[in-house]
Amino acid sequence: MNKTWVTPGGVHPPENKLQSVTQGIGQLPIPETLVIPLSQHIGAAAIPCVEVGQSVLKGQVIAKPAGVVSIPMHAPTSGTVSAIEHRPIAHSSGMLAPCIEITSDGADTWIEHEGISDYEHISPTKLVEMVGNAGISGMGGAGFPSAVKLNPGRQRPIDTLIVNATECEPYITADDSAIRERAAEIVEGIKILSAILGHPHHIMIGIEDNKPEAIEALAPHVEGTGISVVVFPTKYPSGGEKQLIYILTSKELPSGKLPADIGMVCINIGTTYAIKRAIIDGEPLVSRVTTVTGDAVGIQRNYDTLIGTPVSHLLAHNEYNEQAGGRVVMGGPMMGFTLPSADVPIVKTTNCILAPSYAEIPDDEPAQPCIRCGMCAEACPASLLPQQLFWYAQAQDHERLEAHNLFDCIECGACSYVCPSNIPLVQYYRAAKGEIRHAQDEKVKADHARERFEFHKERIEQAEREKEEKRAARREAALKAKAAAAEKPADKSDSAPSSSAADIIAAAQARAAAKQVSPEDQQAKLERTIAAAEQRLIVAEQKLAEAIESNSDKQAVLSAAVENTRQKLQQSKTKLAELTA
Amino acid sequence: MIELISQNPILAALVALVGLAILFGALLGFAAEKFKVEGDPIVEQIDELLPQTQCGQCGFPGCRPYAESIANGDEINKCPPGGQSTINAIASLLDVPAPELDAEHGEESEVKTVAYIREDECIGCTKCIQACPVDAILGAAKLMHTVIADECTGCDLCVEPCPVDCIDMLPVEETIADWRWSIPAQPGQPGQMIATDRRGELESQSTSGDAA
């Protein structure tokens, strides 16, 4: 039995998990149309590589990754690409995002695919590449591309692999039921991960003690593999990455660091299943287990849902009673968000669709003033001061917010849950985080603009300077020439004071003689001129003839040109005759 | 030595104090030379706070000249692109009361804009290129010009010189990537999902602590 540690804070909300795990993982009929958002993860959105009207097979790549932190998208079923456009997606903003719509043909035909069974003999780099090509991103929370997380080009060797099977949020049972039914494949996936990471010393599956069936299901498969299943008391939010690392190893992840910086990798258990499918079966990530629960749906259970399935499709097949339910939530009641509409698709990170009745989750009560009771500080799993953060968020005091480590807040909602005044604390933190990030972006942009402006100024100044220098040089040259011109006569008057007009004429004649070139050269030059003029004359005459033929209005101009050329030729010829004579 | 000091305590104290004074004086003089501050740091700090649009609406050729002018006692409310938040930031830096934006220099606009050249109409006169303070317009004489949207600060300076009026200032569209939560003004807005399931808690309280 592994020792576990206890994190500070935490709450015990009603779990509401039993209603959705009794029936096992179900299958839904394939929806008519599936919508695949091009960005379902942290990093750059994928670039579509199919065209509207093209038929695709299940598992075919429909969008290619853009850059390193990006993953490809695959067709979740066979059919035709019916649209590539902006569609509503599961995002709190309710904004549209680029998506690919596939109209299914109902046949669900797989593309040819092939896995490998002897992954032990394949280099980790190749395995990571396969994981990346299968379009796997973290299926627990933020959706970080798994291939980037597993990238072997790191400085520190990984000595601990933590598999997160905590699933601490109420209502959600997707991981629980997946473990119950797919324990063997999950353990296989963990073995592949271990091979990728160079067989870390410790491999732990962290799981809360409210899932005895799942723990039992894992037990026979992990025997003798070196993988330990670590069970710890149920408390929300034990499933946060930092919290789980502390519970299992008593190591605290420093602020702003990744688990890899302290030699750990933390992976969701659903992702390990997807990795097994990708390597052993060669299947990309096209479906995931999603819990459909809440009192407003008649059937509460888990489904193996195709990525891109509209939420409305899930609800329609589970006897959704719109009158009973106030809203549809993606995720759990603590960290999930209300969907702007039920037409949005399931994505790779959707672990739960919660359709609560009004009685189950009533509308928020109006917030009362903070009474400084301090319960939020006791509940905070990150040991922050929620109350102080609340004041500073209201005042938009970014400096103080950062000084109070706002960015260590995991937005778990424990503080809001315990607040007797119903203050939506986490909403304030989210907004403040957004404001700070925005301010940072603006700052970077402003700095960039300043740099460009300064360069621009310098460039203009330099051009001006160069111009000025040139002007100065020219002025100096002109002055010098003037001075020289002024000096020369002065020189002559010095050397020959009795100079007369005859002398000057003689000097001029001498200069002219010096300039004179030999008669042979002159003759050659004239001959060249005549040859060129003759050529020109021929061309001009031709043009004139053409113009006359086509009765062009250029006749007058051309005939003048011909006459001109002829005269010049005549002049040159007379000159040559003079010279040779 | 000790005898000498004990016999002339006043003189000894005097010598000691003078010695210390010389020592510290030398130290301070050295430090003043060694750690001399280059330039005026307040100008840098003000310049950091200005939005760097380089639009010249304040009447200065760029943000830095205006920062220098503020450091020399100019009004701090001449920057419309920065708006009230920039005025407040400079006011708190300089420890002066924050005035309202001076309407004479323009109004604060809500939406960010970038210049866009209608390329069919561009005649390639290069006038906008010369006007751009951040070299964000690309093109050559008699060839079409275009704006590098990422580099454009939205300063409007290129609009006026264009002889064929083919430059529009278009608002920057918000994408999902730049969307951010707003401070909850009214409780009970949809989308505020965190931690609202209290039914179990209320029930467990009424049935004397029979938690789920």
pLDDT averaged per 10 residues in sequence order, chain A, 581 residues: 86 90 90 89 83 92 87 92 90 85 90 86 88 88 82 76 92 93 93 90 92 92 90 92 92 87 90 92 92 90 93 90 83 88 90 89 83 93 93 89 92 92 90 91 90 91 94 93 80 52 78 69 82 86 80 75 84 80 67
In B, which residues are within 8 Å of A356 by CB distance? 197
Q: HEC states along chain B? A: CHHHHHHCHHHHHHHHHHHHHHHHHHHHHHHHHHCCCCCCHHHHHHHHHCCCCCCCCCCCCCHHHHHHHHHCCCCCCCCCCCHHHHHHHHHHHHCCCCCCCCHHHCCCCCCCEEEEECCCCCCCCCHHHHHCCCCCEECCCCCCCEECCCCCCCCCCCCCCCCCCCEEEEECCCCCCCCCCCCCCCCCCCCCCCCCCCHHHHHHHHCCCCCC
Q: Cα(B23)–Cα(A329) distance, rounded to whole angstroms?
A: 74
- Amino acid B185: pLDDT: 62
Reduce the DSSP state of residue A267 to 3 states and report it.
Answer: strand
CB distance A452 to B136 below 8 Å: yes
Q: Cα(A231)–Cα(A165) distance, rounded to whole angstroms?
A: 10
| C-beta atoms of B199 and A360 within 8 A | yes
Radius of gyration of chain A, Cα coordinates, nearest whole angstrom = 41
For A552, how many CA atoms within 13 A lie in the half-sphere containing its CB?
14
Radius of gyration of chain B, Cα coordinates, nearest whole angstrom = 31
Report which of A373, A356, A372 is spatially closest to residue A295, judged by C-alpha positions.
Answer: A356
Q: For residues A360-391, b (16+ Cβ closer than 10 Å) or e, as one string?
A: bbeebeebeebeeeebbbebbbbebbbbbbbb
B7 Cβ under 8 Å from any chain A Cβ: no
What residue type is B69 in one-letter code? S
Q: Helices then strands (H, E): number in chain A?
A: 16, 17
Least Cα separation, residue A330 to chain B (angstroms): 10
DSSP assigned state of A464: H
Q: Which of residues 130-159 of B touch A (CB under 8 A)?
A: 132-136, 151, 153
DSSP assigned state of A495: H
The more confident residue out of B183 and A64 is A64
**Residues paired with residue A354 on neighbouring β-strands, in sequence order:** A293, A329
Q: Cα(A270)–Cα(A165) distance, rounded to whole angstroms?
A: 8
What proportion of chain B, given as a percentage, has pLDDT over 70? 86
Q: Which helix (H) or strand (E) holds A377?
A: helix A375-379
Nearest by CB to residue A95, choosing from B179, B190, B197, is B179
CB distance A35 to A342 below 8 Å: no
Q: How crowded is residue A423: how many other Cβ atoms within 10 Å of its Cβ?
A: 22
- Amino acid B191: pLDDT: 45
> Across residues B110-127, what is the average pLDDT?
89
Q: Cα(A244)–Cα(A263) distance, rounded to whole angstroms?
A: 15
Q: Which of residues 34-73 of B touch A (CB under 8 A)?
A: 47, 50-54, 62-64
B184 Cβ under 8 Å from any chain A Cβ: yes
Alpha carbon A255 to chain centroid, angstroms: 24
Using a 10 angstrom Cβ sphere, with 0-12 exposed, 13-18 middle and 19 or more buried, the burial of residue B39 is: exposed
DSSP string, A532-549: HHHHHHHHHHHHHHHHHH
Q: What is the pLDDT of residues A373-389, one digit of tens each?
A: 999 999 999 999 999 99
CA-nearest residue to B199 within chain A is A360
Reduce the DSSP state of residue A352 to 3 states and report it.
Answer: strand
In A, which residues are within 8 Å of B203 by CB distance? 14
- Amino acid A491: pLDDT: 53
Least Cα separation, residue B61 to chain A (angstroms): 10
Nearest by CB to residue A360, choosing from B54, B192, B197, is B197
Query: Could you say which of 3.80.30.20, 3.30.1660.40, 3.40.50.11540, 3.30.750.24 is the CATH number of the domain covering A118-283?
Result: 3.40.50.11540
| C-beta atoms of B190 and A333 within 8 A | no
Least Cα separation, residue B118 to chain A (angstroms): 24
Residue B209 has pLDDT above 60, yes or no: no
Q: Which helix (H) or strand (E) holds A424?
A: none
Reduce the DSSP state of residue A44 to 3 states and report it.
Answer: coil
Q: CA dihedral in degrees (A487, A488, A490, A496; nearest 10)?
A: 160
DSSP string, A505-532: HHHHHHHHHHHPPPHHHHHHHHHHHHHH
Dihedral sign of CA atoms A375, A381, A382, A383 in order: positive
Place of tokens 């999603």: A290
Reduce the DSSP state of residue A226 to 3 states and report it.
Answer: coil
| C-beta atoms of B199 and A14 within 8 A | yes
Place of tokens 């490998």: A116
Q: Which helix (H) or strand (E) holds A421?
A: none
CA-nearest residue to B176 within chain A is A95
DSSP assigned state of A217: H
Q: Cα(A284)–Cα(A148) distance, rounded to whole angstroms?
A: 17
CB distance A183 to A217 below 8 Å: yes
| C-beta atoms of B135 and A170 within 8 A | no
| C-beta atoms of B192 and A364 within 8 A | yes
Select the residue from B64, B196, B199 to test the A interface by mutation, using most A Cβ atoms within 10 A.
B196
Q: Cα(A416)–Cα(A410) distance, rounded to whole angstroms?
A: 13
Domain boundaries, chain A: 118-283, 367-488, 520-580
Q: Cα(B100)–Cα(B83) distance, rounded to whole angstroms?
A: 9
Nearest by CB to residue A424, choosing from B184, B198, B203, is B184
pTM score of the predicted model: 0.74
Nearest by CB to residue B153, choosing from A16, A413, A449, is A449
In B, which residues are within 8 Å of A336 by CB distance? 193
Q: What is the mean pLDDT of chain B?
A: 82
In B, which residues are within 8 Å of A333 by CB distance? 193, 195-197
CB distance A38 to A48 below 8 Å: yes
Give the list of residues 6+ apart from residue A145 with CB closer than 8 angstroms, or none.
A41, A42, A43, A69, A70, A71, A132, A136, A137, A138
Q: Cα(B65)–Cα(B78) distance, rounded to whole angstroms?
A: 13
- Amino acid B201: pLDDT: 46
**β-strand pairing of A160-164 with A264-268:** parallel
Q: Cα(A275)–Cα(A190) distance, rounded to whole angstroms?
A: 8
Q: Cα(A47)–Cα(A109) distance, rounded to whole angstroms?
A: 24
Q: What are phi and psi of A411, to 5 degrees?
A: 55, 40
| C-beta atoms of B183 and A456 within 8 A | no
Alpha carbon B77 to chain centroid, angstroms: 14
| C-beta atoms of A446 and B47 within 8 A | no
Q: Cα(B150)–Cα(B172) distance, rounded to whole angstroms?
A: 10
- Amino acid A361: pLDDT: 83
The pair of structure tokens assigned to A229 is 């299943």
Q: Cα(B25)–Cα(B100) distance, rounded to whole angstroms?
A: 47
Q: What is the pLDDT of residues B141-171, one digit of tens each?
A: 989 999 998 889 888 889 999 999 999 999 8
Q: From edge to edge, which strands make up the β-sheet containing A160-164? A: A227-232, A202-208, A160-164, A264-268
DSSP string, A135-190: T-B-SSSS--BHHHHH-S--SSPP-EEEEE----STT--HHHHHHHHHHHHHHHHH
